[in-house]
Amino acid sequence: MELEKNPWTTLATRPIYDNAWISIREDQVINPKGGKGIYGVVSFKNIAIGIIPIDSEGNTYLIGQYRYTLNEYSWEIPMGGGKIGIDILESAQRELKEETGFTALKWTEIMKLHTSNSVTDEVAYVFLAEELVAGETQFEETEDLQIRKLPLEEAINMAMCGQITDAISVAGLLKVAMRR
């Protein structure tokens, strides 16, 4: 059996919703066992970018904000969206500056991941940012953010015990923990 061959057949596609950030479509499909059904797909118009900044003392910086979709407050690594077609490192540098004020002299891409591949095509990249240079934040209109400086190990422990639940943040922090 060829594992990488697509076992799904798409019969028809119908757009359901579209805005500046996402589009949603409904596909009429034949599933791998031959049954007919529907599949909803959320397509993102940006690439998700996460950054783990680490200063010379081994501290990192988390961003706290109220997440409308969850109806709760969330601590996360600095992150945002990068326009498709723009270099992902350039987008990561912009996001770090906007949310923390920092620029970094050393950048390392540490992972690529799909955030919820059963319903969305969203792809995310996580970078390690080191050799930080302080500057001014540039929050967007929709952002009411808090910045929290803490030892990297404490942030990793927050991910391990469920105080950080954002998928990109958890994956990125655990990847850094495994690399150290």
pLDDT > 70? residue 101: yes
CATH code of residue 92: 3.90.79.10
Condensed to tens digits (0 to 9), the pLDDT of residues 67-89 reads: 999 999 999 999 999 999 999 99
Q: Which H or E run includes 65? A: strand 59-67
- My answer on whether 16 and 75 are in the same domain is no
Condensed to tens digits (0 to 9), the pLDDT of residues 148-176 reads: 999 999 999 999 999 999 999 999 999 99
Q: Please report whether residue 2 resides in a domain.
A: no
Q: For residue 16, what are the domain limits?
A: 9-44
3-state secondary structure of 117: coil
- My answer on whether 87 and 18 are in the same domain is no
What is the tally of structural domains in the chain?
2
Cα angle 140-143-147, degrees, rounded to a multiple of 5:
110
Condensed to tens digits (0 to 9), the pLDDT of residues 1-57 reads: 567 899 999 999 999 999 999 999 999 999 999 999 999 999 999 999 999 999 999
What is the distance in angstroms between the CA of the first residue and the CA of the last residue of the chain? 39
- My answer on whether 100 and 19 are in the same domain is no
